[in-house]
Structure 1
Amino acid sequence: MLRGLFGGAAALALVLSAGLASAQDFSADRISQDIRHISSDEFQGRYPGTEGERMTLAWLQAQYEAMGLAPGGPDGQWLQPVELKRYTPVEGATVASWTGPDGTVHTLAPGTDIMVRAATNDGRADIAGAGLVFAGYGIHAPERNWDDWGDIDVRGKVVIVMGGEPTAEAVTGRFNGVYPTAYSNGWYKSDEAFRRGAVGVIVLAMVPADNPGWLRSAQFNNRQRTLTPGAADLEFSGSINHDTGMAWAAAANVDPALLTTVDTGTFKAVALDGVTLSVRAEETIDTLVTHNLLARIPGTTRPEETIIYSAHWDHVGVGADHVSPVSTTEDNIYNGAWDNASGTAGIVEMARQIAAAPRPARSIVFAHMAAEEMGLLGSYGYAANPVYPLETTVADINIDMLPLSGPTRDIAIFGKGQNTLEDDLAVLAAEEGRVITDDRQPEQGFYTRSDHFPFVRMGVPALMTWHGVDWDEGGVEAGQAAWDAKFGADYHKPSDEWSADWDLRSAVENLTLLYKLGLQLANGDAWPTWKPDSEFGAIRTTSDAARQ
């Protein structure tokens, strides 16, 4: 009898706990006022390294202290410093030449024949007589039965690759069709070449030397670049036009028809025998220190296992150079109310609601990432130096630009088909009569463009919800038109300012689903997984033992 009584009490406690966990009360008005505050002119566009950063981080810390949350950064601090190295080419310092099998040296004109950047490690490149290898698209994708590399040895050599990924109709089914995969990105090609021992990567542009686009890109090649934390430590990267590439191929007796095979799936990397490349380049380096802010709710029984909610706090500052004086004659402050004061406020509101629920078994971290607008750099900084081991990070749930509409039947996500988090979300959405869709904009390449992606690259399952356009009132026709108009009018423009007219009902709908998903993960023992054809599954597999 006593055993049955205690069993019933335990069951009742579990029911009550679940009830408390789901008794959230997301406030559209509170979210709106938080957005209004941190996107005001006073914050001057929240650019990293400015007074706007200091004010934003101070405001965030005050919110979490008021909730009673613990600092989640390194060494029990609120902030995680992220050191960003910025590289600027030294004028006239780039010298490049190639040597053919007959020993003749051919000078390459920077900006005309070749473009070179030494924006890695110490900002200096000094490569003499390096061999050349043409590696097609530079893709090694066993899960897609694709391998451009074969068994060639590229240690100490310079690898030449095509941009993008295969587009021939016969093979696009191996990739994601209209949605580009990670293999299309330059960072992937550099990482793969570096992993194999290459000292440099050159992208072959399939245009002649006098192509206007090629010449225009040369004008921008000397702009300052910020190195992505954790990026491949190559000596240099660069690009060549078709004319330079064909001259190298001819010298090495490589048939130009080889280019027609790169989309077949049968191509294997080819050495340009007898042709070598020499490059010298130098760049000055300065350092910008910015900060991620992290707050944490420690788990009760498995605190070493972590769910992360993330959003970037930064925007693009004031004026074209981000740090201009505020104009007295025109609006030159990029307030970033939608992008991403809205996501920042959404994470703070998420923390308020989860802090009011019973503490979960696993830990939950609320991460406000820096320098997203500079290339996801705060998130990459975290991924390169994680405060909590990535092997036991259950998932990242990222919010960037809350939807501004009435309720929708759909909940869009980036990277549909990648991992099982979308399946978990689909079950929760179905309970409310909603469905999961892709982002409907494959041309944007959204999956690689927000702070979930550095986690993805390290193998951590991640989810980012986007804007539903199938409105309960008006359907897709009305919803898509409204989205297109809003994005076209305000994205990355000074007009992205808070408005009392914003409809945040869809935002509250999405936040509520993400709240349920996060607590389901935090109170369970499941580990989301990558789907069989995902390019990120193999990375996660290497740390399987940590999750046993």
Structure 2
Amino acid sequence: MTLRGLFGGAAALVLIASAGLAQAQDFTAERLSESIRTISSDEFQGRYPGTEGERLTLAWLQAQYEEMGLQPGGPDGQWLQVVDLKRYTPVEGAASASWTGPDGTVHPLTIGQDIALRAVSNDGRASVENAGLVFAGYGIHAPERGWDDYGDIDVRGKIVMVVGGEPTAEAVTERFNGAYATHYQSAAFKSDEAFRRGAVGIITVFTVPASDPNWQRAAQFNNRQRTLTPGAADLEVSGGINMDVAHSLAMAAGLGNEVLTSLQSGEFKAVELPGVTLSVATEETIDTLRTHNLLAKIEGTTHPDEVIVYSAHWDHVGVGADHVSPVSTTEDNIYNGAWDNASGTVGIVEMARQLSAAPRAERTFVFAHMAAEEMGLLGAYAYTADPVYPLAKTVADINIDMLPLSPPTRDVAIFGQGQNDLEDRLAVLAESEGRYVGGDGMPEQGFYYRSDHFPFARAGVPALMTWHGWDWDEGGREAGEAAWKAKFAADYHRPSDEWSEDLDFRSAVENLTLLYRLGLELANSSDWPGWKPMSEFGSVRERTAGERQ
């Protein structure tokens, strides 16, 4: 007898209790396959935002929901939420920087050698004169981990200097997640924290000399176009300096090397660089790429203001090596994105189809198709910066990015294991089917921070994303891991990611069924899933606790 035949105890009770709901769903490999075949065809030209591929994709999605009889879920009763993405390109020769020491001597800094600068503010201009400097170590404030680099220092109107990453010393690694990085290591967190405290800018200290090739490469290519993340901290300026410049600033302020060496202890507190100021200026041109999220909904019967979001990104990377080229007549240069993420897009459509056939739930379901994930989760960030449904009353986000394409698996892999209790609810449902919940097995990838569930998590909404199990029913982990790694290496972000009649949707159907049951369980309860004590997102959720009473 296989594990699928062994049920007992609490798992059996859950299976019996959910049997009626389970009967309402009918996910099929055939329907998944045919829809993926449609929207990953050459006609959709890689579904790049702002192109004909976007228009075709959104029209197809809207037609599916209209046929099901779902309501538009976007702003003002519309299907679409407009997402305007601002793209910034530095004006050549516009950047300048210098620092002034306690003796009043001005020291010019060479752009692209000593310092790299970007305007952060929405108008594309930055001008900061003689701002005080504060060195804030890693720039991390994590009270749940007993870590606070800032202490009680006042950084209002100043520029904060931080080092990248997070503590890695053996003595303090238990405060973080070991091999799995936390959000605290990200530039976005460090910028948000500096902005929240009133800083006007943030400078990252690269702990390498000016001669280091990695520094030189980063500084010299800092002038590339970038797209501003919607809702990002509205600092005046961000930038980076090498260790030689940092050493000069510290010496002028009378600070020794012990400042850097104390960072890993957990006892460090931010220090001002007395008498040292920094002046910077730069300017960037702005153009706007307009794209759209598409949202559909099934309104709840008794608590329609409480929302469960199922999300997936509809976009991929378009055509050609630069993702916007014309279609080639001599080679296959269309990035069709059948797996990434036509599969998740269709998974959400099929989730809506099954939930619309079930008895109406007490809470509202929203099916959110996010734009510009491949450009940096930008559609999801735009949604959380300007949510259609209040985030305080959003029960959970269940995200699908690349359905598993494999035979059945014993494991249900998730990103961010240990973050919130959605995984515990999923584990009970999985156990009833002889399966178990496990991690993604690839800590070096930082997967929890790389798909559309993450902007929800960053905003405090409990978020879950299932991934590809490796523990196959037949062949076990050895076979499953080898097959997944081979497919990932062959097809991820390559033109070969195309529909094929040989794609195996059995594991996808298994996972969709579990996520269907999880959504219904949440939608017919009064529970509010929470973050676990060591999660970096629990404190964000707690700020709105009064709105969920």
TM-score by length of 1: 0.96
CA distance in 2, matches of 1:47, 1:22: 37
Alpha carbons of structure 1 residues 299 and 102: separation in structure 2 relative to 1, 3 Å: same
- Within 5 Å, which residues of 2 pair with 1:302-381? 302-381=303-382
Q: Quick check: 2:311–2:367 contact (8 Å CA) kept in 1?
A: yes
1:175 lines up with 2:176 in the alignment:
yes
1:245-279 CA-to-partner distances (Å, cap 9, x unmatched) read: 00101111101121111010000001111111000
1:148 corresponds to which residue?
Answer: 149
Counterpart residue identity of residue 175, structure 1: F
**Counterpart of 2:547 in 1: which secondary structure?**
helix
Which shows bigger deviation, 327-336 or 163-172?
327-336
1:25-54 CA-to-partner distances (Å, cap 9, x unmatched) read: 101111011111101111011000000000
C-alpha deviation, 1:21, in angstroms: 5.5
1:60 corresponds to which residue?
Answer: 61
Q: Quick check: 2:120–2:126 contact (8 Å CA) kept in 1?
A: no
CA distance in 1, matches of 2:19, 2:331: 52
1:198 lines up with 2:179 in the alignment:
no
Q: Quick check: 2:371–2:380 contact (8 Å CA) kept in 1?
A: yes
CA distance in 2, matches of 1:211, 1:495: 37
C-alpha deviation, 1:128, in angstroms: 0.5
**Counterpart of 1:237 in 2: which secondary structure?**
strand
1:298 corresponds to which residue?
Answer: 299
Q: Quick check: 1:303–1:362 contact (8 Å CA) kept in 2?
A: yes
**Counterpart of 1:381 in 2: which secondary structure?**
helix
1:205-226 CA-to-partner distances (Å, cap 9, x unmatched) read: 1111011111111232111110
1:341-362 CA-to-partner distances (Å, cap 9, x unmatched) read: 0000100111111111011000
CA distance in 2, matches of 1:392, 1:364: 12
2:398 corresponds to which residue?
Answer: 397
C-alpha deviation, 1:321, in angstroms: 2.5
C-alpha deviation, 1:20, in angstroms: 5.1
2:503 corresponds to which residue?
Answer: 502
1:237 corresponds to which residue?
Answer: 238
CA distance in 2, matches of 1:497, 1:257: 55
1:424-463 CA-to-partner distances (Å, cap 9, x unmatched) read: 0000000011111111000000001000011101100010
- Within 5 Å, which residues of 2 pair with 1:5-404? 19=20, 22-404=23-405
1:83-132 CA-to-partner distances (Å, cap 9, x unmatched) read: 11100000000000111111111111111000000043111000000011
**Counterpart of 1:207 in 2: which secondary structure?**
coil
CA distance in 1, matches of 2:520, 2:232: 33
CA distance in 1, matches of 2:102, 2:428: 63
Which shows bigger deviation, 18-27 or 231-240?
18-27
CA distance in 1, matches of 2:120, 2:53: 28
CA distance in 2, matches of 1:114, 1:219: 10
**Counterpart of 1:309 in 2: which secondary structure?**
strand
CA distance in 1, matches of 2:472, 2:220: 45
Q: Quick check: 2:130–2:279 contact (8 Å CA) kept in 1?
A: yes
1:423 corresponds to which residue?
Answer: 424
C-alpha deviation, 1:330, in angstroms: 1.4
What is the root-mean-square deviation of aligned Cα atoms in Å?
A: 1.1
CA distance in 1, matches of 2:19, 2:546: 31
C-alpha deviation, 1:164, in angstroms: 0.6
1:9 corresponds to which residue?
Answer: none
- Within 5 Å, which residues of 2 pair with 1:537-548? 537-548=538-549
Counterpart residue identity of residue 490, structure 2: A
Counterpart residue identity of residue 460, structure 1: V
1:519 corresponds to which residue?
Answer: 520
C-alpha deviation, 1:17, in angstroms: 10
**Counterpart of 1:263 in 2: which secondary structure?**
helix
2:454 corresponds to which residue?
Answer: 453
% same residue:
75
Q: Tell me, which stretches of 5 or more residues in structure 1 are unaligned?
A: 1-14
Q: Quick check: 1:44–1:318 contact (8 Å CA) kept in 2?
A: yes
**Counterpart of 2:368 in 1: which secondary structure?**
strand
1:165-200 CA-to-partner distances (Å, cap 9, x unmatched) read: 000011010011110011010000000000001000
Aligned length: 534
Alpha carbons of structure 1 residues 106 and 472: separation in structure 2 relative to 1, 3 Å: same
C-alpha deviation, 1:291, in angstroms: 0.3
C-alpha deviation, 1:510, in angstroms: 0.4
1:433 corresponds to which residue?
Answer: 434
Counterpart residue identity of residue 520, structure 2: L
CA distance in 2, matches of 1:405, 1:309: 22
CA distance in 2, matches of 1:327, 1:118: 37
**Counterpart of 2:31 in 1: which secondary structure?**
helix
CA distance in 2, matches of 1:120, 1:429: 46
2:7 corresponds to which residue?
Answer: none
Alpha carbons of structure 1 residues 16 and 197: separation in structure 2 relative to 1, 3 Å: closer
Q: Quick check: 1:88–1:223 contact (8 Å CA) kept in 2?
A: yes
**Counterpart of 1:266 in 2: which secondary structure?**
coil
CA distance in 2, matches of 1:307, 1:265: 38
Counterpart residue identity of residue 233, structure 1: D
CA distance in 2, matches of 1:17, 1:104: 74
1:466-504 CA-to-partner distances (Å, cap 9, x unmatched) read: 000001111111111111111111111111111111111
1:471 lines up with 2:468 in the alignment:
no
Q: Quick check: 2:262–2:268 contact (8 Å CA) kept in 1?
A: yes
Q: Quick check: 2:120–2:234 contact (8 Å CA) kept in 1?
A: no
Which shows bigger deviation, 485-494 or 52-61?
485-494
**Counterpart of 1:82 in 2: which secondary structure?**
strand
CA distance in 2, matches of 1:235, 1:481: 47
C-alpha deviation, 1:16, in angstroms: 11
Counterpart residue identity of residue 129, structure 1: N
Q: Tell me, which stretches of 5 or more residues in structure 2 are unaligned?
A: 1-15
CA distance in 2, matches of 1:18, 1:410: 21
2:10 corresponds to which residue?
Answer: none
Alpha carbons of structure 1 residues 17 and 95: separation in structure 2 relative to 1, 3 Å: closer
1:340-391 CA-to-partner distances (Å, cap 9, x unmatched) read: 0000010011111111101100000000000000000000000001001111
Q: Quick check: 2:137–2:269 contact (8 Å CA) kept in 1?
A: yes
Counterpart residue identity of residue 75, structure 1: D
C-alpha deviation, 1:18, in angstroms: 6.6
**Counterpart of 1:129 in 2: which secondary structure?**
strand
**Counterpart of 2:264 in 1: which secondary structure?**
coil
Q: Quick check: 1:17–1:358 contact (8 Å CA) kept in 2?
A: no
Counterpart residue identity of residue 360, structure 2: R
Alpha carbons of structure 1 residues 284 and 429: separation in structure 2 relative to 1, 3 Å: same
Q: Quick check: 2:303–2:363 contact (8 Å CA) kept in 1?
A: yes
CA distance in 2, matches of 1:223, 1:494: 25
CA distance in 1, matches of 2:491, 2:102: 56
CA distance in 1, matches of 2:236, 2:532: 35
Q: Quick check: 2:344–2:403 contact (8 Å CA) kept in 1?
A: yes
Counterpart residue identity of residue 151, structure 2: G
Q: Quick check: 1:158–1:199 contact (8 Å CA) kept in 2?
A: yes
CA distance in 1, matches of 2:221, 2:71: 44
C-alpha deviation, 1:23, in angstroms: 2.5
C-alpha deviation, 1:320, in angstroms: 2.6
C-alpha deviation, 1:546, in angstroms: 1.1
